Each structure stands twice: as C-alpha cells, then as structure tokens.
Structure 1
Amino acid sequence: MENWLKKVLWRQFGASIDMLENACKLCPETFWDTQAEFGYKAYHCVFFLDYYLTRNPIGFTPPEPFSLSEFEDRMPERIYTKEEVLNYLYFCRKKCRDLIAGLDDVENAFWQNESESMRYNIIEILLYNMRHVQHHTAQLNLLLRQHIDDAPEWIYEAEDKL
C-alpha cells in the first residue's frame, strides 16, 4: 500500500480516536454513570473500535475486564469506569496505528465477521470503523453540551505522524 495513503488514513482515524478521548476526559465523574449512559455509550464505541480493528475477528474477545455483552444485545454487568474505558481506548489507538502502519496488500485483505453478514476490504472496514467512532463521539459531545454546556474542540488530524 502506498505510504501516503497510510499517512492520510492514520491522520484522520487518529484524530477521530483523539476526539473520542477528549469527550471521555471532559465528562465529569458525576455524569459518567447516569441515566444519560455516557459511560456505556463510550464503552460501546471503544468495544466496536477494537472489534473492527481485529484483522480476523472470528473468535474476538475484548481484554479484561470487558465482556462480550455488546454481541448479546444487553448492558454489561456493570458500567466500566472512565479510567477503564480510557485505558481500553489507548489500547485500541495503538492497535489502529499499528494496523494502518502494517497495511500491505490491501487488494487481498478482507475483514469478515462470524455471521458472514459483513465482508469488507480492509480499507472499507477502517472507514466504516472511523464513521462509527465519529457517530458516537458526536452523541457524547451533544450530551456534554446539554449537561455541562461544554464540549471538546475539533481535531483536524492526529498529532503523532505515521
């Protein structure tokens, strides 16, 4: 894969992840686990970020202490703490950066889930994943605006270069 394309993908995907991080960091602890479910929504976003970054997601399991509740259409046993979700996000950010940096023959690289309902070229799953992150980051920013009258600034590209 062309090096310039890897750099473009990382700058934009990294910025999306950074925007999610900033929303999580700005959320007051007192608002994290409320009826608005900020903490749960943040976890959901990070869980699927990890899943869609897994080159062969068949048999995917998230790191401890997270469960597969997202696949079972149920809330997790508990709302994970802000620190737990942020640590999971940092894990995923590195996973994303490493995946993009290591892209080689994208024409033959496919991502397919267990149910075979989704089969994407690796570039398309990266774009799909980035859209998912931005979708939920926008929801979190709206919640922050509504409840604390503040939201993080726009990030136009990841600061760390590929």
Structure 2
Amino acid sequence: MSDKMVAVLRRQFEPTVEMLKNLIEVCPDDFWMDAKQKYWKHIFHATTGMKFWFRQQKEEEFKIPDFGKDVTEDLDKECSDYPTKEEMTKYVEDILNVARKFLDELTDGKLLEPCVLYEEITKTDVILMQIRHVQHHIGYCNNILKSNHLEAAKWL
C-alpha cells in the first residue's frame, strides 16, 4: 500500500507548522515581549494543542511546560513573564517531532481508527483539527502583526 492519504495530510500539515515557526522569526523582539498583544501566547496555545492531540498513548502524561516562568497557554489568563523566542522555537520543534512520529505510525488503513484519547474522533480528525487550529492562530497572529504595521508571516 502506498499510503497516499497519509502523504496528502503530511503535505498539508508540514507547511502549517513551518508557518507557525515563521511567526516566531518575523516578530520583532520588543513586540514579542508586549503582554498586551498576547502574540506569543497564540503560538504557545496552538503548539500545546498539538502536544495534547498527537499523544500516542491515553496514559501518556500531558504536561504543559512553563519554561521555569509564570506563563500559561490559556489565552484568558494573564502571565507576568513570557518564553523567549528561542524557547518557543525549541518547543515548536519538539512538538513537531511528536506530530511527525504520530504521522509516521499511520497508514491509509489506520486513518479512520479512533484516536487514543476519544473513541468518536478518528486519527484523521486529529490531524485535520490541528491543521485548522494552528492556521486559526497563524491568522490571528498575522492580523496582530498587520494591525501594528508589521510584516506578516508568508503563507506557505
């Protein structure tokens, strides 16, 4: 079997995460630190969503990193600190590796199997939900950048 659908999903997922990484790169340092904008928090939130959903085992511990700082991925909660762009880039890379492992384990025949977390959600649903979720936050961050007369991350 050639696993053509897994290849299609991967072709859509990979540029989505690359765009997330590009958001980190294009953001000016002083803007990154601006708590009012919550720019970094959207990236953190989207990445943490991938960490949750791409788990391979239901029992696998789900722990949100705090980078040793007062930070949360919860968009409605205030933080007194922020992860650096370097810390966030590493976190995105780490979670990208988790997602790639999830995709590497798939075959076209397994795409409609239930995900390990919720029986009513398939593995395909998980991938598509994460693409949609991450792209939502990419659009949100690009809107923040444009609203502040900054260059947005390029669409891939």
Residues 57, 44 of structure 1: CA spacing in aligned structure 2 closer, same or farther, 3 A cutoff?
farther
| Structure with bigger RCO (C-alpha 8 Å, 6+ apart) | 1
Q: Gaps spanning 5+ residues in structure 2: where?
A: none
Matches for 1:48-59 after TM superposition, within 5 Å: 48-58=49-59, 59=61
Matches for 1:1-162 after TM superposition, within 5 Å: 3-34=3-34, 35-58=36-59, 59-63=61-65, 65=67, 69-70=72-73, 74-75=77-78, 78-104=81-107, 105-112=110-117, 119-155=120-156
Give distance in 2, aligned partners of 1:2 and 1:109. 21
TM-score, L = length of structure 1: 0.79
Q: Determine helix, strand or coil for the equivalent of 1:151.
A: coil
Confirm or deny: 8 A CA contact 1:62 1:68 kept in the other structure: no
Confirm or deny: 8 A CA contact 2:43 2:137 kept in the other structure: yes
Q: Gaps spanning 5+ residues in structure 1: where?
A: 156-162
Aligned residue pairs total: 151
> How far 1:62 moved relative to its partner?
3.4
The two structures, once aligned, show a CA RMSD in angstroms of 2.7
TM-score, L = length of structure 2: 0.82
Give distance in 2, aligned partners of 1:14 and 1:46. 13
Post-superposition CA distance 1:69-100 (Å, at most 9, x none)? 447x6345631111111111011112212211
Residues 142, 57 of structure 1: CA spacing in aligned structure 2 closer, same or farther, 3 A cutoff?
farther
> How far 1:137 moved relative to its partner?
0.5
> How far 1:153 moved relative to its partner?
1.6
